[in-house]
Structure formats: C-alpha cells, structure tokens
A and B are shown apart, each in its own frame.
Chain A
C-alpha cells in the first residue's frame, strides 16, 4: 500500500493541449466589422479629417448612385456593360469548353492543344485590345472579343483538367457494362468533370469583369468602366466610387448566381 499512496501523491491531471487551429463560425462578426469600417469612414469625412473631394463619405456615394438611377444614366451604362459581359463570357465559355473537351478526351487534341493553351494563357488579354480594335474596329466586337479571349483560356484549362481528373475506374466500369462512347462521355465524363468546370467559371467570371472594365476604359462611350473613367477626369469622386460600388455589386451578384448554380447542379456532393 505504501506504493499506491506514493502514486496518489504524485498524481497530476494530463494537461489539455488540443485547443486552437479549428476556426469556429462567429455570427454577425463580418457584418459588424463592415459597419464599423463604414461608420469610421463616414465620421472621418464629416469631421473634416478626410477631404470629400478625394474620398467622399459612404452616404454621399449612395446618394450619387440614387441620383444616377433617377436620371437614367445608370441603366444606360450598366445595360451596355451587361451586354458586353454576357456576349464575351458566353463566347469564351463555349469555345473554352469545346477546346477543353477536345484536349480532355482526344489524344491528338491534347498533344496539340495543351502546349498551345499553356503558351498563350499568360498573355494579358487586355494588351491584345489594340490589335483587336485594328482587326474588328472600335465598336462592340473588339471589346467582346477581348473578354471572350480572357474567358477562353481559364475555361479550357479548367475543363481539360477536370476531365483528366475523372476517376478512370468509373470509365472502366461504364466500358465493362458496354456503354457506347457517347454515353460514357455524357453520363460519366461530363458529370464527373462538372465540379472542376464550375470552379473554372468562378475564375473566368472574375477575369471577364476585369477585362470588361479595362476595355471600356480604353475605348467606350458607355459602360461602367467608361463611366468611372469619365467621373475621374471630372473629379466627380462620388460618382467614380458609385461606379466602383456598382462593379463590386455586379461581381457579388455573379458570384452568388454561380454559387446557386453549383448548389443546384452539385447537390449530390
């Protein structure tokens, strides 16, 4: 028993060492952080700490947005941008998916396409706008083509990579049941590649938005990019930031739309 007693005297709890490194969701933290930032910004401008010419208050920016909406100017610019964005994105996505599919399933397509796409992907597509203007004119076609080119490469790479990552055992399974090649493509390869393709859409949408604004700043009379540039030239910083806010909202809406599409199409995950 003396041994047992000495063990009891020596007893210490095992210290807990497993805490941390597991982020917990904190409700409302983002909204509160955002509100605090806006409040500081608003107060700083109202108290004269920051010049409203260089950085107008958030309330002024929202008021400018309202004025533009009532005057009808806003829709004129937004509608032009949306047409360019939709046209360029759809064209680039269709071509990118077709190229990605060819590279993914056809050996010759892969042998030719992968080096070609890899070599051209790093070129900043906005640098091709002057060339595209020479080829297609200053009108809509050159802007849409710039966006389409910017969308094409990430879409093609995402589609090719996603098709390449479809588990081979699923394809072998389909072949073992005698599914025709078209069915293997339609029922195995494309659904299997869909998560990767949709992830590529997020990247291509961001690129499309950047190229849209850049192209409109270079050669457009209407469009959100053109509007932001004109407001800057006239030192109308409230309107300039209203335009920037609009671009952010457009990006957020597109992201949310893609999120919904993903949740719908990939509900099996």
Chain B
C-alpha cells in the first residue's frame, strides 16, 4: 500500500507546527522523517495514522491491504503504550480481540508475533517485569500481530539506552527486511534513519516543512558492510549538514521562549 500526504498542515492554537507537507511513501518503502525538536515530526505521524486531524491538506492510502491485515495502518509508540495490568500475551492480544477471529487463530497470531520478536518465553510476564528493550519488543509484536500494511513508528527506540537501541535496531531491521512493510519511521537519530530508511525526509524547524529528501541508494542489508562505509559516511555528513542548521535555529527559538 502507498501512503500519500497532500499539502498537510497543522497548528496548535496560534502555533503553526506543520506547513505544506507533500510526501508519498511507496509500497514496500521505508521513509524516515528527521528534524529538530518541535518541528512536528510526531504530529505528522499522528496525522498519517488518523490520530490527529490535520488543519490543512489530506492523507490518503492507496492500494489494497494484503489478505489478513486487520489494521492496515498500525502504530509503534515511543513510550511502548503497554497496559501494565495485562501480560505480554494479553497486550498483544488486545489488538486482535475486537476482530472476528476464533480463539485458535487469535492465539496463533499472538504466538507467531511473540516468536518473531523473541518473546515466546515471556508471554505470561507483566510489563513491569521487563526491561525497556523487551517492552518495546512487545509493542512491535502487538503491531506485527495485526499484519499491518503500513507501519508508523514514532521514535520507537528513543526511550532505550544506546546498547539496547543498537540490539533492537538489528532485530528490527531483520524483521523489516523479511516483511518489507511500507513504513514511516520518525526519529531524531540520523544513524537509525540511515540504517533503516530508503529515503530520509528532513523537516525544517517549526513550522515543519520538507527541507530536503535524501535517498539512500545502498540496500539496507549492505549498509553495515565496510564496502559501504565511505558512501554511508558521505550521506551522514550530508544529512547532518541539512539538520544542523535547523537544529541550531530551533534550539535558539526554544531558549528564547
């Protein structure tokens, strides 16, 4: 499925946060959205997911969701958004319970999602018993269980420590390469964006406008190889140059209130 944003704008009261965003995410493509704090990255994702009503413009999805997709546009949240009173399996099951599935199919989907995220032996644990990385795995398993056609990820690794983030990124990349689900990945971490995305959309400081779109021509599976190191480094410099100026201006803006 494709996701199309047409002249999307948004404001909170008198504060313009997004302006004229036009972006198409192709079928099977992963687009990262980066930009300085407060540029409206998460708001844009909320608009794409139908959780925030845009003040201007429209968002469409095009194409047919694959058979078995129960929630075509699915979110992965920065703060995991797990129900502390439900076990791991029950948290994953929550996304399925309102669909007309028989108990066996529901259980099969839960078991498959837990197995794919390495959570099989933690199915009866409660979120408070898990580390941050394992909690986000539950968040990812919950998203996988509904077989999404479009995956919207709002800084899914930013609440984790650096080592956990690295480990989870490796697993995440493997999962994404296996499924190649159309994805939008919001992050402030350029390294994550370069590891995962086919294209990286740089937003300007508030109100967020598309400043630049950087295509990463190297296949995801080859980006960690030493042969790609030079080209990746050039891309990283180019990306940082695009973000740096905006980040400096945004920081001054925040500091001056």
Contacts and interface: CB of A to CB of B under 8 A. Distances in A.
Interface of A: 169-170, 172-180, 183, 187-188, 191-192, 194, 266, 268-269
Contact of A170 (B74, B81, B95): B81
Nearest to B84: A268
Contacts of A183: 97-98
What's the interface size class on B, roughly?
A: 20 to 34
A186 to B, nearest CB: 10
A109 to B, nearest CB: 23
Nearest to A171: B81
Contact of A178 (B81, B98, B128): B98
Given A179-B98, A191-B83, A268 B51 contact: no
B146 interface: yes
A160 B84 CA distance: 20
A178 B69 CA distance: 13
Given A176-B51, A177-B95, A180-B98, A268 B77 contact: no
Contacts of B84: 268-269
Contacts of A170: 81, 83
Contacts of A194: 85
Nearest to A169: B81
20 contacts: A169-B79, A170-B81, A170-B83, A172-B51, A172-B77, A174-B94, A176-B49, A176-B75, A177-B71, A177-B74, A177-B95, A179-B94, A183-B98, A187-B97, A188-B83, A191-B83, A266-B85, A268-B84, A268-B86, A268-B126
A46 to B, nearest CB: 54
A178 B94 CA distance: 11
Given A178-B98, A191-B83, A268 B74 contact: no
Given A183-B97, A187-B94, A268-B126, A176 B74 contact: yes
Contacts of A266: 85
A173 B77 contact: yes
Contacts of A174: 94
Nearest to A177: B95
A177 B146 contact: yes
B122 to A, nearest CB: 15
Q: Is the interface of B mostly helix, strand, loop or mixed?
A: loop
Nearest to B52: A172
Contacts of B85: 191-192, 194, 266, 268
Nearest to A268: B85
Interface string B89-104: 0000011011000000
B236 to A, nearest CB: 32
A187 B85 CA distance: 10
A175 B71 CA distance: 11
Given A179-B98, A191-B83, A269-B84, A173 B75 contact: yes
Given A169-B77, A268-B126, A177 B83 contact: no
A33 B142 CA distance: 54
Given A173-B81, A174-B94, A194-B85, 18 more contacts: A169-B79, A172-B51, A172-B77, A175-B51, A176-B51, A176-B71, A176-B73, A176-B75, A177-B142, A178-B71, A183-B97, A183-B98, A188-B83, A191-B83, A191-B85, A268-B85, A268-B126, A268-B128
CB-based closest 10 A-B pairs: A173-B81, A176-B75, A268-B85, A177-B95, A169-B81, A191-B85, A268-B126, A183-B98, A177-B71, A179-B98
